[in-house]
Amino acid sequence: MKKPGSGTPKTSGARVLKTRIKKKRGLKNSSRRWLERHLNDPYVLRSKAEGYRSRAAFKLIEIDDKHKLLQPGQRVIDLGAAPGGWLQVAAARVKSPEDAPTVVGIDYLGLDPVPGTTILEMDFLDDDAPARLMETLGGAPDIVMSDMAAPTTGHRRTDHIRTMHLCEVAADFAVQVLKEGGHFLAKTFQGGTESTLLDLLKRNFRTVQHVKPPASREESVELYILAKHFKGRGEGSEAEPEGESAES
C-alpha cells in the first residue's frame, strides 16, 4: 500500500473520462445517478489505486492529519470496523505489529483480515462485546473510534435516532475504558448531537468539537464528534468550552 496521503485527491491536467450508466429497465434515475456519482468519486478512485477498502479511509486520514490522534505504539479500538478502511489507516499509523496487534476492530459483518489488527465478528451491542474487546486488546486503549451507522430505513428522523444511539453507546464505552489522555472519535449527524451526549463528553474530556473532513460529501448530514484528552475516571469536572462548533 502507498503511504497514506492527505487532503482532497488531485487530478492531473489531462481530461478525466467519466463513467456513464446506461438507462435500464427497472433502474430508477435516482439510483443511476447515485451509481455514476459513486463510480466517478475521486475518493473512490483513489481508494482503489492506493489499496484502501473504502473511501471512508480518507475521512480518518484527513481527521488524523489535522488533529494528530494516531501515534506509533498506541492501542486502538475500532467500533463498526467493516469493511476495514479505518483499520488499515490505524494499523499503519500506530505501526501495529502483525504478530502482536495493538489495533482491534469489531463488526457483526464479516470482513477479511487486515494486517496488524485483530477483528472480532460480533455485534458491539452484545452484552459481552466490551469485555471481549478489552481482553483481546490487552490493555487500555489510547483511542476509541467509531464509524458506526444504523442500517437506514428511509425515514430520516428514525435513522438519525438509531445512529445517535450507537454514538452514545460508543461514547459511554470510551469513558469506561480509555487511558487517561486518550481520544474518542465517532460518527454523528448535523443538527443532532444530543445534549446528554455532549454533557457526558464535556465532563470527561478536555475539548469536544465537531469535525467534517473533506472526504465527507458536502450534501451529507454526516459529522464526526471528536473528544480529546480524556481526563481519567473520577475527575468529572466540566471540559473547557472550546472548539464546539463544526469545522472542516
Binding residue ranges:
84, 86, 107, 123, 147
Residues 203 and 236: beta-carbon distance below 8 Å? yes
Half-sphere exposure (Cβ direction) of 69: Cα atoms closer than 13 Å: 27
Q: Residue 210 is inside which H or E element, if any?
A: strand 205-211
Location of C-alpha cell 486520514: 61
Of these residues, 2, 3, 187, 231, which one is catalytic?
A: 187
Let me know if 196 is exposed, middle or buried by CB neighbors in 10 A (0-12, 13-18, 19+): exposed
Using DSSP bridges, classify how beta strands 76-79 and 117-121 pair: parallel, antiparallel or unpaired: unpaired
Please tell me the distance from the alpha carbon of residue 15 to that of residue 62, in angstroms, as a whole number.
26
**Of the candidates 160, 162, 185, which has an alpha carbon nearest to the alpha carbon of residue 174?**
185
Count CB atoms within 10 A of the CB of residue 246.
14
How far is 121 from 66, CA to CA, in rounded Å? 31
187 flagged as catalytic: yes
Return d(Cα 220, Cα 145) in angstroms, integer: 20
Residue ranges for the binding site for S-adenosyl-L-methionine? 84, 86, 107, 123, 147
* Residues acting as catalytic residues: 187
